[in-house]
Amino acid sequence: MADKYNGFIYDKDSNGIVTVTMDMDGPVNAMNEQYRAGMAETLNRLEKEAGLTGVVLASAKSTFFAGGDLKALSSVAPGGEPEQFEMIESGVKAPLRRLEKLPVPVVAAINGAALGGGLEICLACNHRIAWNSPKVAIGVPEVTLGLLPGGGGVVRSIHMLGLEKALPILLEGKHMKAREALEAGLVDQLIEVTEDLVSAAKKWIAENPQAAVQPWDQKGHKVPGGDIWSPKVGAILSSAPAMLFKKTRGLLPAPEKILDVAAQAVTVDIDTALRYESRALAYLITTPQAVNLITTGFFQMNSVKSGASRPKGIEKTSVKKVGILGAGMMGQGIAYASARSGIEVVLKDISMEAAEKGKAYSAKLLDKQIERGRATEEEKQQLLNLIKATDKYEDLQGCDLIVEAVFENIELKAKVTQEAEPYLAEGGVFGSNTSTLPISQLAEVSKKPENFIGIHFFSPVDKMPLIEIICGNQTSDETLAKAFDYAQQIRKTPIVVNDSLGFFTSRVFSTFLDEGARLLVEGVDPVLIDAMGKQVGMPVGPLTIQDEVSQELTRKAAETHRAMGVLGSKGDNSCNIEVCERLISEFGRGGRYHGGGYYEYAADGSKQVWPKLYELYFNADVDMPNDDIKDRLLFRQVIESLKCLQEGVLRSVADGNVGSLLGIGAPSWTGGFIQFVNTYGLQKFIDRANALAAQYGDRFLPPKIVADTLAKGQSFR
């Protein structure tokens, strides 16, 4: 007879096998107080159970187990490490050690996601059987949240797989499909029908009654691939720190702690290593990096993806036919992303040759996937059949969405809008893929401005996960909802912002380029400027990225904005514009793809600073502290983000943080440009910004919203 205690259903069958089904309060099973009480009580019963022959650990939820209670973890203040260590040791570690020391085989029946703590429970079982379904995800993603798998995940995975195989799993935090997990060695068996999981687990127990002792608890156990005395393991551990630093630049403590615990796992006994792992997690929990990554990377990301910015009460829609105007770099990427999601695509350009060239981009991407075994010729043909290349507007007839992706020229955009709009289906949406031009102004030529919206993609479209949706003054909620649904339909993360020159992402990103130019004009070594940009955590330095964007594009955008009478209305990026215009007009330096810009580029892909740049700008007498350079590059973007929030360009803090991470390349350790202020400290931020303003200019003055938020005793949420 089954009975339930604290979310654990306990059911013993006639063969002496107890099935423990986790069915905790709430939508998922998680490592919270209820779990700790339920697991302790369950183990008390199992240890006393007469005639026990085996245990099956199952879940009544669609996910097997969701992992740690992140809300509780992210609210632990510095100084709370000893209590966290005690909780990890007694509430998490001790029960799992008791579970794996039961004198009978224990099998995990994995019916859904087993991530983080969920997988750690499974690793404490003697055998793991998973449902072979896309709904099953297995892995230890804690590193992506600034943490490490502290329920034995680091130590047990190394004792199961060996250091060489386990380290990439631990350091990348990848979600694996069931078959991938089987190949990696984290799962032992796959089942095709979810209802068969428990019976398959019982069958394995019946066939393996002696398999009750974990490998690491058996006499003579050796870590697969060798321990600390193995030359190969020694070589991995000696080279790993340098390789890791190259990736993290010393800005993320979690990967370093994982490596530290991994080294202990191959050096000391299992229980000592597990204790060391607990200390490492207790330390990481209170770091600002973990708080930032959990706040934005988990809670705010989930909020954005679940549709917090989507108007409520409007029925969900899907796009069946999309028209794309312009088959250049952006248009061809949008065509691929749409067709990949099964949407019929009409890709229009001024000539068939240009349109076909745009379509060929999808074929090229699919060929690469076929080469890597990730797609088939049949799948390639199916996708290409969905894309119609054309030079005729008539082929757009019946599109429920048209996305204009032509050059950033207001006259050209107006022309194609007027010519294409009549072919939209009834209630269809017209979207402009502009990166800077105000949507309300672009919508002036539209017959139905309420159906006009900004849909800003990022390059390369096939790789970049973000879409910035921009609402003009007349954009309706129905149009916003349709654009939002389309973004999710093509598997992108949508943020929603209000109209402004540059909106949010381009406006903030341009300040990074401008501050780089200002540092250059002030005489700082260009190599140092880019190095400090990377050292603060940006993907590349501001001079390098300006070359990639191209000085020519910056010049053209400035020209367009001057013609519109809007240049300089939001933010002051005049220095970067002046430098770009000078490099082009005096020296023909238009950027990497225009023969070079700040850098000269060799055929082998290497680069060096254009020597003339030193003559023009470098001043050997300038002695600016590196911390000032880093703070200028970071604070400039943070301040502009805060201004966007203050002015209502950003509709939510979550959109600002997620948008800055996915669209601008904000350093991951910050949790996004607005979240950074929370853990830096609002008063400390005001003080530092004022100090920068006093020394380097009023653009660093802290926006009023910071003092207002501080006065209310709040943070940015």
Q: How many CB atoms lie within 10 A of CB 559?
A: 15
- Whether residues 525 and 447 fall in one domain: no
- Whether residues 246 and 380 fall in one domain: no
- Whether residues 254 and 128 fall in one domain: yes
Last residue of a domain, one of 589, 623, 646: 646
Give domain status of residue 715, yes or no: no
Q: Which CATH number does the domain housing residue 25 bear?
A: 3.90.226.10
Number of structural domains the chain divides into: 3
Give pLDDT, residue 20: 98
Give the separation between CA 228 and CA 266, rounded to whole angstroms.
Answer: 5
End-to-end C-alpha distance for the chain, whole angstroms = 48
What is the side-by-side strand order in the sheet with 399-404? Answer: 387-390, 344-348, 321-325, 399-404, 424-432, 452-457, 466-471, 493-498
Give domain status of residue 703, yes or no: no
- Whether residues 531 and 576 fall in one domain: yes
Give domain status of residue 306, yes or no: no
| 89 secondary structure, DSSP code | I
Give pLDDT, residue 1: 62
Give pLDDT, residue 568: 52
Contacts 24+ apart (CB under 8 A), 567-574: 569/501, 570/500, 570/501, 570/502, 570/507, 571/502, 571/507, 571/510, 571/511, 571/514, 571/640, 571/643, 571/699, 572/514, 572/699, 573/510, 573/511, 573/513, 573/514, 574/514
Give domain status of residue 351, yes or no: yes
Last residue of a domain, one of 499, 515, 544: 499
Give domain status of residue 150, yes or no: yes
- Whether residues 191 and 138 fall in one domain: yes
Give domain status of residue 52, yes or no: yes
Q: Which of 159, 175, 221, 456 is catalytic?
A: 456
Catalytic residue list contains 456: yes
Q: Which CATH number does the domain housing residue 358 bear?
A: 3.40.50.720
Give domain status of residue 315, yes or no: no
- Whether residues 405 and 540 fall in one domain: no
- Whether residues 447 and 520 fall in one domain: no
Give domain status of residue 314, yes or no: no
- Whether residues 456 and 485 fall in one domain: yes
Mean pLDDT by 10 residues, the chain (717 residues): 89 98 95 95 97 98 93 92 96 97 98 97 98 98 97 98 98 97 98 97 98 96 97 96 95 98 98 98 97 97 97 97 97 98 98 98 98 96 98 98 95 97 98 95 97 97 97 98 98 97 95 98 98 98 97 92 68 88 98 96 95 98 98 98 98 98 98 98 98 98 98 97
Burial class (CB in 10 A: 0-12, 13-18, 19+), 343: buried
- Using a cut of 0.75, tell me whether the model's pTM lies above it: yes
- Whether residues 85 and 200 fall in one domain: yes
Q: Which CATH number does the domain housing residue 537 bear?
A: 1.10.1040.50
Range of the domain at 624: 506-646
